[in-house]
Chain A
Amino acid sequence: NAGVTQTPKFRILKIGQSMTLQCTQDMNHNYMYWYRQDPGMGLKLIYYSVGAGITDKGEVPNGYNVSRSTTEDFPLRLELAAPSQTSVYFCASSLTGGERTYNSPLHFGNGTRLTVT
């Protein structure tokens, strides 16, 4: 199993450009997540999905969009890139989640480092 795979690893965008960060998992997990990690700020949840066709906003969704057409894929779209979106983006997946009493751990990809100038 490859686990969670993210592409690209690095990207530089100009202000106003758009791009899609790709994420795919081969563990048949229902739950998928996008986090961003900024220095000294910890990981912040952008969007999540509890299954194909279902997505919802996290703590910092502004400026981003997601879709979930299959169980495996969960792309993150930046429509009009801004310098504030310079960050490292991590995709993750888990077998269980939500309001369950016991939740399984998140499995992370190795991230996409994005710079917007």
Chain B
Amino acid sequence: EDQVTQSPEALRLQEGESSSLNCSYTVSGLRGLFWYRQDPGKGPEFLFTLYSAGEEKEKERLKATLTKKESFLHITAPKPEDSATYLCAVHEGTALIFGKGTTLSVSS
């Protein structure tokens, strides 16, 4: 059973059309939930860390929130340059366990 599940797998938006990406997790004793952005041919780039339910973090058009069982990455008025794969990960033991990602495409 996957410990980190992301949905949807792919999302197509028009520029300015806000939406949310979901990350649900099943690990107990959460020691950090991480959001990354990955562009084609590049390594994942760190966006946010959330540690406790109710916590929120923002960066430009992105806002990450956390509950006891899931996290959302809200994208407000996206632009084409927000197109990327967004990865969610949680700490389990020594390293991060990653979800399979959501590929976001924003068209103008």
Size bracket, chain A contacts: 20 to 34
* Among listed A12-20, A61-69, A70-78, A95-103, interface-contacting one: A95-103
Q: How many A-B residue pairs have CB under 8 A?
A: 63
Chain A residues whose C-beta falls within 8 Å of the C-beta of B100 in the assembled complex: 40-42
Q: B100 to chain A: closest CB distance in Å?
A: 4
Residue of B nearest to A107 (CB): B46
Using CB atoms, name the residue of chain B closest to A104. B49
Closest to B2 in A: A42
Contacts of A48 in B (CB 8 A): 94-95
CB atoms of B95 and A108 under 8 A apart: no
Q: With A and B bound together, what is the CA distance between A41 and B5 in angstroms? A: 11
Give Cα distance in the complex from A16 to B32, angstroms: 40
B20-54 CB contact bits vs A (8 Å, 1 = yes)? 00000000000110100000011111100101000
- Report chain B residues within 8 Å CB of A110: 41-43
Q: Does A106 contact B (CB under 8 A)?
A: yes
With A4-B43, A102-B31, A102-B32 as contacts: A56 and B94 at CB distance below 8 Å: yes
Q: Closest A-chain residue to B39, C-beta based? A: A110
Once the chains are docked, how many angstroms separate the CA of A59 from the CA of B41? 24
Contact B46 A106 (CB under 8 A): yes
State whether the Cβ of A50 lies closer than 8 Å to any Cβ in chain B.
yes
Per the bound structure, the CA–CA distance linking A92 and B27 in Å amounts to: 22
Chain A residues within an 8 Å CB radius of B94: 31, 48, 50, 56, 97-99
Taking CB atoms, residues of chain A closer than 8 Å to B34 are 105-106
In the bound complex, how far is the Cα of B91 from the Cα of A37, in angstroms? 18
Chain A CB count within 10 A is highest, among B45, B91, B95, B101, for: B95
Residue numbers of A with Cβ under 8 A of B are 4, 31, 33, 35, 40-43, 45, 48, 50, 56, 58, 90, 92, 97-111
Q: List 17 A-B contacts (CB under 8 A).
A: A33-B95, A42-B87, A43-B87, A43-B89, A43-B96, A56-B94, A90-B43, A92-B43, A97-B95, A99-B93, A100-B31, A102-B51, A103-B31, A105-B49, A106-B44, A108-B43, A108-B45
